[in-house]
């Protein structure tokens, strides 16, 4: 049998998505951690630099205060020593120092470009209010400091300017170097992360292949089954999943084996059944051949027997074909609204002569009018088989009763006889193909052993059910239940 394969996607090895997941789970925290670490590193460095700058600037503002440097500038008596110190501090911090006097004018600029300009920015105003203002501008990569310079108590005398802010020291310094250091750290970190990731990938690959080993084992066992070894034991109990797969596959293989066995049995039964009439024909023909001067009556008698055997062979083949047609996965049913009463009457009319031959009374009791959705030809065959059997497996002057009843969902046909009955131990098996309780009697009456198998198949196709009650020597009742409405 050709199996249809509809494959839309190439399957991937389970290893790949597993590895992907593990790497992703490792990578995300690593990246978050490095982001956090780098930003912490930058801030920490910047803050250290700012602290140092602040300390140096505080020393400067003290000196400026003590030397009355701002007022001195006004008098043109600036201290050259302090001047140099301011410049050195600015250079050391890689920045610029600007000193602003009480009128917001720049009196000293280490870059010598803004002297004399007026600076009114928020940080300077806050410093004039006595605050030490610090901040970082990460975007433009610099930090700034604004430190108040108090008035010289000695020169202020009693005016109290020792507590008044007479100027502001403003320092700005580039953090470019810190950013570069951060970049270098980031590169190092990336290298470490790459190494970590590769180690994780290697470890993950080893663990995954170890963890997937039971599935591989299962696959190997299944490959053996695929090669046709149906006796291969499928069992991998390492995981609950592999155990469940093993169980399901073993179960399916068991079913397949039973199916295979019953198919073989069926083929051997068919061969046997088909051979029996041929053997009889051969025996009859051979005996005729061996007889010299046989009278014409004997010829006629033998030829009639041969003709009977050919009929039998034909009937077996017909029944087999009927069964094979119904065995298709989608058997064709010709469903139509049918009067079941009329259908049964027709069957009985056809079978009455056979019953009469054996003086068997054939009675029909219809409790109500029934119309149902059925395949008339098939269902007629099913019920005919039951009535024929009730006549065949009966005594002379026996009785066969057929009843029809219905409720709101189903109709029920009962075929009741007071014939030979079926012993309890065979009741289960009579629906099997070629199964006969009394082989001699079945042969004698021209049975093929397929009648009940066909009947059961037809009833099942109509989504119905068939049941039998029987007592040996007392009689048999077959009950067929079919839904009134057929739902495909």
Q: Which residues bind ligand ADP (CB under 6 A)?
A: 385, 389-390, 393, 417, 419-422, 430, 435-438, 442, 447-453, 476
Place of tokens 């170890």: 210
Place of tokens 């004018």: 105
Place of tokens 């087999």: 320
Nearer to ligand ADP, 413 or 452 (CB): 452
- How near is the Cβ of 309 to ligand ADP at its closest, in Å? 16
User: Which of these, 62, 86, 90, 88, lies nearest to 167 by C-alpha position?
Assistant: 62
Nearer to ligand ADP, 102 or 447 (CB): 447
Nearer to ligand ADP, 306 or 450 (CB): 450
Which H or E element spans position 162? none
Nearer to ligand ADP, 404 or 420 (CB): 420
172 Rama class: left (phi>0) / alpha (psi -120 to 50) / beta? beta
Round to whole Å and give the CA distance between 216 and 480: 51
Round to whole Å and give the CA distance between 260 and 219: 23
Nearer to ligand ADP, 58 or 468 (CB): 468
- Residues near 269 by Cβ (< 8 Å), separated by ≥ 6? 433, 434
- How near is the Cβ of 289 to ligand ADP at its closest, in Å? 32
User: Which of these, 35, 168, 29, 7, lies nearest to 97 by C-alpha position?
Assistant: 168
**Residue 184 tokens, joined:** 């270098």
- How near is the Cβ of 449 to ligand ADP at its closest, in Å? 4
User: Around Cβ 297, how many Cβ atoms within 10 Å?
Assistant: 8
User: Residues 56, 93: contact at Cβ < 8 Å?
Assistant: yes
Q: Angle formed by the axes of helices 451-461 and 296-326, to 10°?
A: 30
User: Residues 142, 172: contact at Cβ < 8 Å?
Assistant: yes
Nearer to ligand ADP, 171 or 362 (CB): 362
- How near is the Cβ of 286 to ligand ADP at its closest, in Å? 28
Q: 241-248 long-range contacts, Cβ below 8 Å, gap at least 24?
A: 242/214, 242/215, 242/218, 245/218, 246/218
Nearer to ligand ADP, 168 or 420 (CB): 420
- How near is the Cβ of 422 to ligand ADP at its closest, in Å? 5
User: Residues 419, 350: contact at Cβ < 8 Å?
Assistant: no
| C-alpha atoms less than 13 angstroms from C-alpha of 171 in its C-beta half-sphere | 31
**Where do the H-state alpha helices sit in 67-150?**
69-74, 80-92, 122-128
User: Residues 172, 57: contact at Cβ < 8 Å?
Assistant: no
Round to whole Å and give the CA distance between 197 and 201: 6
Nearer to ligand ADP, 234 or 430 (CB): 430
- How near is the Cβ of 419 to ligand ADP at its closest, in Å? 5
- How near is the Cβ of 372 to ligand ADP at its closest, in Å? 24
- How near is the Cβ of 434 to ligand ADP at its closest, in Å? 8
- How near is the Cβ of 221 to ligand ADP at its closest, in Å? 41
Nearer to ligand ADP, 143 or 393 (CB): 393
- How near is the Cβ of 453 to ligand ADP at its closest, in Å? 6
Q: DSSP assignment, residue 86?
A: H
- How near is the Cβ of 264 to ligand ADP at its closest, in Å? 21
Q: DSSP assignment, residue 367?
A: S
Nearer to ligand ADP, 233 or 318 (CB): 318
Nearer to ligand ADP, 188 or 439 (CB): 439
User: Which of these, 35, 13, 18, 14, lies nearest to 201 by C-alpha position?
Assistant: 18
């Amino acid at each position: 049998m050709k199996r249809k394969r509809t494959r839309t996607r190439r399957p991937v090895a389970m290893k790949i998505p597993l590895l992907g997941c593990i790497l992703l789970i490792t990578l995300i925290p690593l990246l978050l951690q490095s982001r956090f670490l780098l930003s912490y590193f930058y801030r920490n460095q910047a803050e250290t630099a700012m602290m140092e700058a602040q300390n140096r600037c505080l020393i400067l503002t003290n000196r400026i205060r003590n030397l009355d440097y701002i007022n001195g500038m006004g008098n043109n008596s600036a201290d050259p020593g302090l001047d140099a110190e301011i410049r050195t501090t600015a250079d050391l911090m890689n920045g610029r120092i600007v000193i602003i006097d009480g009128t917001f004018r720049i009196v000293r600029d280490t870059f010598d470009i803004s002297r004399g300009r007026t600076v009114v920015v928020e940080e300077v105003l806050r410093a004039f209010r006595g605050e030490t203002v610090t901040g970082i501008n990460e975007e433009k990569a610099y930090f700034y400091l604004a430190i108040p310079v108090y008035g010289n108590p000695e020169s202020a005398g009693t005016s109290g300017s020792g507590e008044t802010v007479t100027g502001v020291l403003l320092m700005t310094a580039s953090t470019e170097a810190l950013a570069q250091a951060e970049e270098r750290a980031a590169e190092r970190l990336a290298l470490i992360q790459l190494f970590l990731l590769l180690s994780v990938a290697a470890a993950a690959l080893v663990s995954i292949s170890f963890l997937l080993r039971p599935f591989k084992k299962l696959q190997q066992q299944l490959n053996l089954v695929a090669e046709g070894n149906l006796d291969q034991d499928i069992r991998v109990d390492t995981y609950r999943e592999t155990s469940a797969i093993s169980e399901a596959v073993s179960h399916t293989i068991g079913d397949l084996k039973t199916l295979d066995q019953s198919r073989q049995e069926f083929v051997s039964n068919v061969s046997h059944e088909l051979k029996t009439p041929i053997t009889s024909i051969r025996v009859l023909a051979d005996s005729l051949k061996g007889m010299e001067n046989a009278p014409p009556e004997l010829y006629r008698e033998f030829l009639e027997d041969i003709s009977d055997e050919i009929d039998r062979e034909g009937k077996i083949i017909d029944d087999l074909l009927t069964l094979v047609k119904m065995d298709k996965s989608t058997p064709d049913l010709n469903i139509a609204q049918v009067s079941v009463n009329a259908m049964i009457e027709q069957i009985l009319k056809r079978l009455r002569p056979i019953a009469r031959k054996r003086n068997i009374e054939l009675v029909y009791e219809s409790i109500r009018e029934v119309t149902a959705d059925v395949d008339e030809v098939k269902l007629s065959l099913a019920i005919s088989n039951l009535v024929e059997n009730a006549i065949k497996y009966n005594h002379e002057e026996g009785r066969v009763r057929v009843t029809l009843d219905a409720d709101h969902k189903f109709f029920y046909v009962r075929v009741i006889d007071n014939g030979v009955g079926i012993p309890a131990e065979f009741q289960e098996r009579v629906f099997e193909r070629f199964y006969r309780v009394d082989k001699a009697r079945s042969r004698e009456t021209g049975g093929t052993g397929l009648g009940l198998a066909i009947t059961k198949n037809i009833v099942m196709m109509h989504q119905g059910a068939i049941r039998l009650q029987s007592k040996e020597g007392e009689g048999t009742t077959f009950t067929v239940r079919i839904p009134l409405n057929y739902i495909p």
